[in-house]
Structures are given as C-alpha cells and as structure tokens.
Amino acid sequence: MADPIDTELEMDAAELYQEDVYTDRRIGTIRRLTPVKSDGSPDPARPVLFAGQTQILTAGGMLPLAFEIEATSLPEAIKKFGPAAKVALDETVRELQELRRQASSQLVLPDTASTASILGPGGGKLRGR
C-alpha cells in the first residue's frame, strides 16, 4: 500500500462537475452534478448526473445511504428517489448479511504453543481407550 503522505492529490480538469443540492429537509437530498469545463462553463458533451442521500434508523443507529439516481431532469430524479433509495437499502442489507456470515464462519485456531501448555504433555489425547 502506498504511503498516504506521498500520494499526489490532483483534480482531473476534464471531469469537473458543478454540484447543486436539493432537499425536502425531511427524507434526504438530491445532488445534481452538472458537467463543466475547466473554465467553469457548461460541458454539454457529458450528461448531468443525479445522486441521492438519506439515512435509515436501525437498531445499530443511523445508516447513511448514498446512491445514483438514473434520471435526466430534477423532476424525474425526485420521482425516482424513493425506488432508488429502496434498491440501495436492499443492497446494503445484503452486504451486511454477507459480512456477518463471513465473520461467523471464520475459524479461530488456537496457538499451538499455548494449547500445549494448557493441555499438558500429549496434547490432551485420551490414552488407553
């Protein structure tokens, strides 16, 4: 892994977007990302992007969700916000369940040196049976 101190942090002038944020102050926000050229003028050669953000209250606390919204206008993004959030929530739940499954299936092998000292000579094998 590269040393973070040596990492070059450079913006890509060909991939700039102007960001506008819309919120209903209740459910979440929609970010409209309008492509711009390096001088700040609109770049009509690239599509406008929409992204949603919300939070879901869970037993473990607030779960932030961030997701793309397939839309070409703000009214369309508003209409598609709920379904896109539901897809993001379903995917997040599946990922959390998979992480939980992986964590529970990991084998914990004791250190052989400490096992020998606990079990004594012979490693705890039953003899004479």
pLDDT digits (tens, 9 = 90+) for 34-66: 999 999 999 999 999 999 999 999 888 999 999
Distance CA 119, CA 129 (A): 18
Mean pLDDT of the region 18-28: 97
Average pLDDT over residues 103-107: 78
Q: Identify whether 106 is part of a domain.
A: no
| pLDDT recorded at residue 8 | 87
Average pLDDT (77-100) is 95
Domain count, the chain: 1
> What is the overall mean pLDDT for the chain?
87
The closest of 12, 74, 75, 84 to 53, measured between CA atoms, is 84
Beta-carbon contacts of 86 under 8 Å, excluding residues fewer than 6 positions away, are: none
The edge-to-edge listing of strands for the beta sheet with 28-36 is 16-23, 28-36, 49-58, 61-69
Residue 73 lies in a domain: yes
Residue 1 lies in a domain: no
Cβ 60 vs Cβ 47: under 8 Å: no
**DSSP notation for 25-71:** SSSEEEEEEEEE-TTS-B-TTS--EEEEEEEEEETTEEEEEEEEE--
Q: Residue 119: pLDDT above 70?
A: no
Does residue 41 belong to any structural domain of this protein? yes
Residue 95 lies in a domain: no
- Range of the structural domain that residue 39 is part of: 10-83
Q: Which backbone phi and psi does 108 adopt, to 5 degrees?
A: -105, 110
Is residue 50 domain-resident?
Answer: yes
84 confidence band (pLDDT: 50, 70, 90): very high
pLDDT at 125 over 90: no
Residue 23 lies in a domain: yes
Tell me: pLDDT of 121 over 80: no
CA 90, distance to chain mean position in Å, is 13
Residue 3 lies in a domain: no
Output the pLDDT for position 129.
47
